[in-house]
Structure 1
């Protein structure tokens, strides 16, 4: 651990300067939102089974993106500490696969997106976990924007897809059977316990997502410990993506052992998973760059609320599993509220 926290470098010291203007930070936010909201579209119409194999091939695509980004920015130093951020993300992603069958996609996303937004925003704004507090010019606007962003998430929870409707009917049928059984009370208690566990794991998953950038931000904030560190977030991408691939491989090996060397693999979904990983890798690159230019207090709320809107738009226009005037109305209202939240966050302005 001492090695991770006190990396000694022997090459030329690089100045801790900001190589990008403010507008580049907002451009990175747009790129991140679009790609995060669209990265699962290539795989939307293919079977992914339990999702573990899908995630592994997705992480391969992520790592390849990291290699390309690393070459583009001139092969900067490798930071072992940033590997931890990649491990945190993979761990949160693995948890999310267990959470969705328990809580459903809507509630799960609301819980982990909210906890992700809060942890990521608060750790940067208040200087948690050894980070330097990031001030904005108008804190009140920043607080208002974050609060409104959370409220918009509650509104989007009201959207019901066709898949959700089918699951609801299945659950109602199951509930009817359970009520007629002699163990009604025990079954109800078990379902309640599972729901509580699902909510806890969803929140934990969001916390892990929110801490992904903490190691790289820590390095940028402590130039005296890391003389080669710069404010260019892209310099930390390869280290992070290596952590993602490494931890994903470990989880996948455990999965294969548990499945007795019979993992679920859909040949059709391998290439879409790879493409999804490349898109996610581009989105995450935009995210870390926006953090460096704008600060987490601004980039985290903006990027946390945007992808859900884009993903819902894909569901309406392309996947077409969201239909009906009620859903469209909720989408429009929720999107307008998110625009208001984004305006307040942008008006808070980085210092």
Structure 2
């Protein structure tokens, strides 16, 4: 379900941009600049999170389990996500969603793997470290090749 929602997050924007030149469309004259849609994307996520939290509070009879040590890191991760989304939309403007989507999704996995191996020491042993290094090189090479595939 998460993959379906994540994969379809850009569909409304792409649909609006594709129909902005059709005179009989309600989206005629809509912006083709991707950054004009960042506010709608991030506001939607913020509002959905507020609704989920409100439902959680109602289910918990107004006694939610809130961990004070997690509040600031939660806000910081939201700020980092918003910055990443802004950069992703900026990249979409120059490269197109077809190119940026594989790069970004590979990047998420690589960053998570780096956190796991460097910070949390999840990868142990020389053989596993070598495999991780080569897998990281494959991901980076694939991302670079995808990026330069747009060059003429």
Runs of 4+ in 1 over 4 A off after TM superposition: none
**Which has the greater radius of gyration?**
1
> Contact conserved, 1:234 with 1:289, CA < 8 A, in 2?
yes
49, 52, 55: which is aligned to 1:251? 52
1:211 maps onto 2:8 in alignment: yes
Q: Which has the higher contact order (CA 8 A, sep 6+)?
A: 1
1:303 & 1:273 partners in 2: Cα distance?
A: 21
For residue 291 of structure 1, report the CA deviation from its aligned partner.
Answer: 1.8
92, 99, 105: which is aligned to 1:298? 99
249, 266, 270: which is aligned to 2:67? 266
2:132 & 2:55 partners in 1: Cα distance?
A: 40
SS class of match (1:284): helix
The count of residues paired between Structure 1 and Structure 2 equals 148
Change (3 A) 1:313 1:286: same
Residue 342 of structure 1: aligned partner: 143
Please report the TM-score for the alignment, with normalisation by the length of structure 2: 0.85
SS class of match (2:65): coil
> Contact conserved, 1:220 with 1:229, CA < 8 A, in 2?
yes
2:124 & 2:74 partners in 1: Cα distance?
A: 26
2:35 & 2:148 partners in 1: Cα distance?
A: 26
1:309 & 1:292 partners in 2: Cα distance?
A: 23
Change (3 A) 1:280 1:206: same
Residue 188 of structure 1: aligned partner: none
Residue 76 of structure 1: aligned partner: none
Instruction: Spell out the pairing of 1:77-226 with structure 2 (5 A cutoff).
Output: 204-224=1-21, 225-226=26-27
Residue 90 of structure 2: aligned partner: 289
> Contact conserved, 2:106 with 2:139, CA < 8 A, in 1?
yes
Instruction: Spell out the pairing of 1:2-81 with structure 2 (5 A cutoff).
Output: none
Unpaired segments ≥5 residues, structure 2: none
Please report the TM-score for the alignment, with normalisation by the length of structure 1: 0.39
For residue 227 of structure 1, report the CA deviation from its aligned partner.
Answer: 4.4
> Contact conserved, 1:213 with 1:288, CA < 8 A, in 2?
no
Residue 174 of structure 1: aligned partner: none
> Contact conserved, 1:295 with 1:350, CA < 8 A, in 2?
no
SS class of match (2:62): coil
